[in-house]
Amino acid sequence: MQTLPKIIYLWLVLLIASLLLGNRLEPRITRPSPTVKPTKIGLSGPNFERYLTAERLTRTHYALAKFGGSDTLPEALAIYRELALATNQLNPARKVLILGNQLHKPLDETILKLLPEGEQSLWRSLYGPYPPPPIPLDAEAQLMAMQLRFLDNQALADLYKRQDNSQAAEAAEARRDAEAQGAILKRLVPLFVLAVLGGVIGLGLLLFVGFVALRREWHLLGRVSEAVEQKLTWGDLLDGFVFYLASYRALGLLVGIVVTSRAAVVPLQVLLQFATGGLALAYLAAKAKKRGTSLAELGVSRESLGANVLYGLGGYLATLPLLGVLGLLSSWLFRNSTTTAPNPAMTLLSGTSSTGWERGLLFVTISVGAPLFEEFFFRGALFTGLRRRFSGLPSILLSAVVFASVHPIQDALPIVGLGVSFATMRHLRQSLVPGMVAHFLQNTLTFLMLTASLGD
């Protein structure tokens, strides 16, 4: 039986320590209890992701206003209220008052008291019971200075209605709807339609894969035989995989503690990803050289490059229907969850400008770096190592579960589906290229949908 190199235990200790410390430093968001006053914290990490979710739900409602609207506004209001109670930020509280009025709710006195006393009179004049107090002379300037983003036009429209200026109110509401439709209908809907069309094509491909699996005629899927000579051991491959995870987590935690500037987060994220990935590649390449072999054992090869690229495209299309089903199932399972882990991509994207160089760097890390390094180490090092010990199906499933474990728990089922798809393509083609292509397509579609939902 193959033994593990002793140094792997050092990487395991480093990995576990960084995970435990990271969990302590980045607590999940928990919905506030009505009887326990929460500690006031800022809009960072999971709190900020919840805030962005509420923003997206609000935009969706107004984007569909001319079609009769949608039922997303109550959920957005509930999220804003949670954040107003749980954080020290003012805008979630302000947005509770604005959306509450839209939903014909009375002025929320609990939330109103979270705002500065000098500001409370403004909101009472807009949304308070009849007869309301006089509107401050500088009400319009106050609202504009609050930087309410998308909802500033709604607040202004409410102000103009109080001032019996119907023309200005209609203009503000028109700007509100135009901004929402630009963010949702003109950007997000085309991407959604493209994904649905791809899923329809993929369903046919998935049925064909199922037919081949039942008949076990794997040659119909272009299966390539495994190499006979295998010099890298199970221990070598697992050591390289754990080294990659440990170095990425530990250095990422260190950077997160030391760096406090938000402007530096994105460049450092890209630098960290490529530095740790390159270091781990060099570490594994040194092991391969010592064994008298190369990284080709892991599926790194230019052979049949064009065919493998097309294989990755077809494989991704076949995965889309599976992702849709698993995504719905995951949403149902976590519908009552009170604790969610942050999505790193959402948090990073929220801090970038819509056309800035930061968003370009994020595209590199999400759509290029992640497919490159994650495929190399999860489907290359880990899956190949598992194949040294187990047959194909257990190796595919185990590698997919490990892959899901490094992602937010609420996304576990779709990520397992992706992991199974990528590992299956690696197993059938003996190449990492199909998985890299499919991974690139998945991350790029996600990136585009997130940027579209965030708007400008």
- pLDDT tens column, 149-201: 779 999 999 999 999 999 999 999 988 888 877 766 677 778 889 999 999 99
pLDDT of amino acid 70? 64
Q: Across residues 404-417, what is the average pLDDT?
A: 89
How many whole angstroms from its chain centre is CA 411? 9
pLDDT-derived band at 53 (thresholds 50, 70, 90) equals confident
Alpha helices in 26-151 (DSSP H): 46-63, 73-86, 91-102, 109-112, 117-127, 139-145
Q: Is 40 left (phi over 0), alpha (psi -120 to 50) or beta?
A: beta
Is the pLDDT at 280 greater than 70? The verdict is: yes
Is residue 234 within 8 A of residue 2, CB to CB? The reply is yes
pLDDT at position 40, please? Answer: 47
The pLDDT assigned to 167 comes to 94
pLDDT digits (tens, 9 = 90+) for 228-240: 678 999 999 999 9
Residue 203 has pLDDT above 60, yes or no: yes
CA distance 235 to 9: 11
Lowest pLDDT segment from 4-13, 200-209, 329-338, 344-353: 344-353
pLDDT tens readout for residues 244-271:
999 999 998 888 777 766 667 778 888 9
Nearest alpha-carbon partner for 441 in 367, 361, 372: 367
In a 10 Å sphere around its CB, with 0-12 CB exposed, 13-18 middle and 19+ buried, how is residue 176 labelled? buried
Statement: residue 343 has pLDDT above 80: no
* Predicted structure pTM score: 0.80
Nearest to 385 by CA among 260, 284, 279, 253: 284
- Domain layout of the chain by residue ranges: 46-181, 188-454
Average pLDDT, the chain: 85
Inter-residue contact 339 to 202 (CB < 8 Å): no
With beta carbons less than 8 A apart as the criterion, state whether 419 and 401 touch.
yes
Kindly give the pairing relationship between strand 339-340 and strand 29-30: antiparallel
